[in-house]
Structure 1
Amino acid sequence: MGLKTGLGLRLTQQLTLTPQLQQSLRLLQLSALELAQEVEQMLADNPFLERAEDTGAEEPTDVDAPDAAQPSEPGGDETTARSPVAEEAPPDTVSVMEAAAPLAQEEWGAQLDEDAGGWRDDDPDAALGPDWQWEGPGLDRDGRWQDDDEPASAADLASRPERLQDHLHAQALALHLTAEERAALHFLIESLDDDGYLAEPLEALAQALLARDAEDADPERAEELLALLRRALGWLQAMEPAGVGARDLAECLRLQVLEQRDSPAARAALALCAQPLEWIARRDLRRLSAATGLPEDQLRAGLALLTRLEPKPGRRFAQAERLVVVPDVLVTVRGTRFDVQLNPATQPRLRICDAYARALRQHRGGDLQQRLQEARWFIRNLQQRGETLLRVARAIVQHQRSFFLHGEVGMRPLVLRDIAEELGLHESTISRVTTAKYMATPLGTYELKYFFGSALGTDGGGNASSTAVRALIRQMIAEEDPRQPLSDAQIAERLREQGIECARRTVAKYREALRIPTATLRRAR
């Protein structure tokens, strides 16, 4: 069997993403926080990049910067777009495509000599910082260096959030306790979780204390220690905030009810705290009435009192990090005119370091030339990201004019395909642009994806946005009679009367998304 060899031609198509295009797509889907981190990383890795802030008006370098003017869009007469590179920008700002004015060669050399001088410090310990001082005061709780001779100012102390444990220790100072009792109370306070609960049983805490001292690990000592912790728990649970030191939710509610004035509602609430929490959550009045022997009106008053209590006493002392949303787009409404602009705070301003670029002209080729090209690509991709984000934001505002004028009920149906076809972009590009990007409007700050919603049919042959339908459902429930709340079927019927075809199951889904309880639970409130 012989082998045959020959030559042939075959035509194939293959899509290859260049590194520049890959970087452009990655930047497009980053949030404002992730973009800032990406910029910081590039500034640290690429010596040809530097910030262009506070540099004034400067002439561009040899970077081939594309025109920063925004393309005209349909309907631009009523929607004004601004970007950090527009003419309206203040003169002291610099766009991402602007470059620095040339530095004098001797100035650049002087800067290098000054930097080099930092390595020839006569005092070798000066660069080590306080980490190398054995007798230094060290860091305080907020991560700042404290000097023993300089106490913290009143402003610094006022700005520090108070811990729940510190709040309780301050109250413990007013109690007349022995040293052993004070130590037990201190131990319980430090054993609380962030919500103010004592998660571990007293027996386990007593065993943990005995394990520290093997000499006192006899049964009598264990009983004495457990009795001491029980007394300390009583002192702890009498402190403010009410409910602190509880072992479970029922005990937490009971402790808070005991702080209330004696009334039929308070007595009913105490009786309810002894019942299964599932019955209370479902507001099962039939079972609760049979278990407590109380009439329905008193049970309703007791339930109303329980709903006003704090299930997490330590909530206001929690130091959980708050997420702050920085909008990428700012929208201002002046009558029927919309002013859309990018938020300058989220748009980085970078430039090519001209001193390094001019020095590189004398030595073409090599890795440095590639790093310079990467810096140019990064600046261009940043500008392209801003332009694309601005175009998409303008198109969204044009489609959702009724929302900015009338609120949620004026929201129109909109899908990613509509914006993609209008701007001549791919649908996946619109998805990247609208993910984790926020728009600040006079009605609040919303993610760009908020303005997209499915369509529901109407009697007139048109469509209604699902967002507008949810707003109508919320409005109907807010205006209902609490004694006869609307069921999902009744809400669907009212929507049908307004010409919106919405099934009962769809109403239930929207109601649950709005975190609104069922009609049964709303009737019992």
Structure 2
Amino acid sequence: MKPTLQLRLGQSLTMTPQLQQAIRLLQLSTLELQQEIQQALDNNPLLEQEENEAQETSPIEPQDASQLDSSDAMAQDKMPDELPVDTTWDEVYSAGTAQSAGPIHDGEDSVYQGETTENLQDYLLWQMRLTPFSDLDAAIALAIIDAIDESGYLTVSLEDIQAAVSSEEVEVELDEVEAVLKRVQHFDPVGIAARSVQECLLIQLGQYSPDLPWLNEAREVIREHMDLLGNRDYRTLARKTRLKESDLKEVLDLIQQLEPRPGNGIIQSESQYVIPDVSVVKKGAKWVVELNPDSAPRIRVNEAYAAMARNARSSTDTQFIRSHLQEAKWFIKSLESRNDTLLKVASCIVEQQQGFFEYGEEAMKPMVLNDIAEAVEMHESTISRVTTQKYMHTPRGIFELKFFFSSHVNTEGGGECSSTAIRALIKKLVTAENPAKPLSDSKIADLLAEQGIMVARRTIAKYRESLLIPPSNQRKRLV
């Protein structure tokens, strides 16, 4: 068959670069948007950041030499205007800072700089270096510290540590490994390197004064009745220890002061910061949504470069400036479109969830993405992009926009109740329950049914677990 040319009429959907950029900016979080704007400022010379008016109008007042503090004055006196070519920065630094550093005396106690710790092992190694160990004991201590997990427990047996440290030249006894372990277990935090929860708690009790009330009884409970303590079987525990209910409560209060995971207090978790995109304030009887002006830097087209595009004589320069000018305008337009869409969607969410802002989570209405999509006349996928990793600052806290969407549960009267509202009701019931007789999932379902909310016991258990509320047998405690 010979190749031929044919003309056909048809329709196809194409995404322009401008539309692709607008969609990409729409789904970025605030922190990602800040990085995107900074990258655009670095790559496009026709974009510039708008300076704060206060910074532009307030000139920097010159400081008089008499107003400088001692360190500034010393730096002025010691630092020459011009340095010789062969001057090293070590010489300049030592000349200006030697006196402020202060002498270090041999008798001074070493202070641990906690902010330099990356993990639990670093903290324990720092203490090990300050402890007078022999070379062999230091090797054993190092092997023990390497075998400690994030919670602070020893993950290998003493026999394995003995085999790891022993060699043809040196034979390590198991008793020596045990002795070094006892010393490590009294490092901070106390109870570290324990082989069980029982051993960890007993080590911590050993740090208390022998005259402490209920100390011996607490040791007995941990040593002899750890299973009953874990199951919260207080009735059997009181019978076996022959303690009155009031006395047993004193013993349990002492045990609850102990830390079953001593390593968790040392590990530094990285803080997650959230910058709200919008804020909600009440003006009169109406809730108003406002964009956060500080969520991203404001940018504009550099007028000086824009004027060069009109006056440029070289065709190459003209093409370069005009192409970057067009990109700058597209980028600013995409940012404006993002802000308009975000404000429109957030305002619609607030309008739909008026009850939440007035009364809290119990008044939350069931709402899905399609409800907002129909209200603002946008596609559901657009609403999903707008509400992902976007946050709203309210008088009740900071919430992701996704928080306001939830499924519904039918009520007895034919209405609907939000799953978020049901979770709030479950939390309220558990908070108000009798600690000696906590509510079971079936009882919570019955109480909700009395309010016309029909929820299965299995659903109650799922909602309770999502709230990190333990089951009733684990919530039971003595009053």
TM-score range (shorter-chain normalised) is: 0.7 to 0.9
Question: Counterpart of 1:187?
Answer: 142
**Cα distance in structure 2, aligned partners of 1:190 and 1:125:** 47
Are 1:217 and 2:215 counterparts?
A: no
2:260 pairs with one of 269, 294, 311: 311
TM-score of the aligned structures, taking structure 2 as reference length: 0.75
How many corresponding residue pairs? 432
Q: What secondary structure sits across from 1:366 in the alignment?
A: helix
Residues 382, 147 of structure 1: alpha-carbon distance in 2 compared, 3 angstrom cutoff: farther
Residues 174, 14 of structure 1: alpha-carbon distance in 2 compared, 3 angstrom cutoff: closer
Residue type of the alignment partner of 1:217: E
Residues 123, 41 of structure 1: alpha-carbon distance in 2 compared, 3 angstrom cutoff: farther
Q: CA deviation at 1:448?
A: 0.7
**Cα distance in structure 2, aligned partners of 1:41 and 1:125:** 38
Residue type of the alignment partner of 1:196: G
Residue type of the alignment partner of 2:115: P
Question: Counterpart of 2:389?
Answer: 436
Residue type of the alignment partner of 2:475: R
The CA RMSD over aligned residues, in Å, is: 4.2
Residues 169, 6 of structure 1: alpha-carbon distance in 2 compared, 3 angstrom cutoff: closer
Counterparts of 1:129-148 in structure 2, within 5 Å, are: none
Question: Counterpart of 2:295?
Answer: 346
Q: CA deviation at 1:18?
A: 0.9
Question: Counterpart of 1:246?
Answer: 194
1:151 pairs with one of 101, 110, 125: 101
Alpha-carbon contact 1:202-1:229 (below 8 Å) kept: yes
Are 1:237 and 2:185 counterparts?
A: yes
2:437 pairs with one of 484, 487, 500: 484
For each residue in 1:66-114, what CA deviation from the matched residue of structure 2 results, as whole angstroms up to 9, or x when unmatched? xxxxxxxxxxxxxxxxxxxxxxxxx99xxxxxxxxxxxxxxxxxxxxxx
Counterparts of 1:258-273 in structure 2, within 5 Å, are: 258-259=206-207, 261=212, 262-273=215-226
Q: What secondary structure sits across from 1:397 in the alignment?
A: helix
Which has the higher mean CA deviation after the structures are superposed, 307-316 or 177-186? 177-186
Q: CA deviation at 1:473?
A: 1.1
Q: What secondary structure sits across from 1:330 in the alignment?
A: strand
For each residue in 1:16-73, what CA deviation from the matched residue of structure 2 results, as whole angstroms up to 9, or x when unmatched? 1111111111111111111112122222222222211235799xxxxxxxxxxxxxxx
Q: CA deviation at 1:168?
A: 6.1
TM-score of the aligned structures, taking structure 1 as reference length: 0.69
Are 1:330 and 2:279 counterparts?
A: yes
Question: Counterpart of 1:390?
Answer: 343
2:306 pairs with one of 357, 360, 369: 357
Residues 12, 57 of structure 1: alpha-carbon distance in 2 compared, 3 angstrom cutoff: farther
**Unaligned 5+ residue runs, structure 1?**
59-90, 93-120, 139-145, 211-215
Question: Counterpart of 2:17?
Answer: 19
For each residue in 1:445-476, what CA deviation from the matched residue of structure 2 results, as whole angstroms up to 9, or x when unmatched? 11111011112222333221111111111111
Residue type of the alignment partner of 1:18: T
Alpha-carbon contact 1:300-1:524 (below 8 Å) kept: no
Counterparts of 1:105-124 in structure 2, within 5 Å, are: none
Residue type of the alignment partner of 1:309: L
Residues 223, 13 of structure 1: alpha-carbon distance in 2 compared, 3 angstrom cutoff: same
Which has the higher mean CA deviation after the structures are superposed, 452-461 or 240-249? 240-249
Are 1:404 and 2:357 counterparts?
A: yes
For each residue in 1:112-164, what CA deviation from the matched residue of structure 2 results, as whole angstroms up to 9, or x when unmatched? xxxxxxxxx998889xx97xx8x9999xxxxxxx97765399xxx99953746
Are 1:468 and 2:421 counterparts?
A: yes
1:196 pairs with one of 133, 152, 176: 152
**Cα distance in structure 2, aligned partners of 1:407 and 1:367:** 55
Residue type of the alignment partner of 2:388: T
Q: What secondary structure sits across from 1:491 in the alignment?
A: helix
Q: CA deviation at 1:510?
A: 1.0
Counterparts of 1:439-518 in structure 2, within 5 Å, are: 439-518=392-471
Q: Which has the higher contact order (CA 8 A, sep 6+)?
A: 1
Are 1:377 and 2:326 counterparts?
A: no
Residues 227, 356 of structure 1: alpha-carbon distance in 2 compared, 3 angstrom cutoff: farther
**Cα distance in structure 1, aligned partners of 2:428 and 2:404:** 19
Q: What secondary structure sits across from 1:50 in the alignment?
A: strand
**Cα distance in structure 1, aligned partners of 2:416 and 2:46:** 53
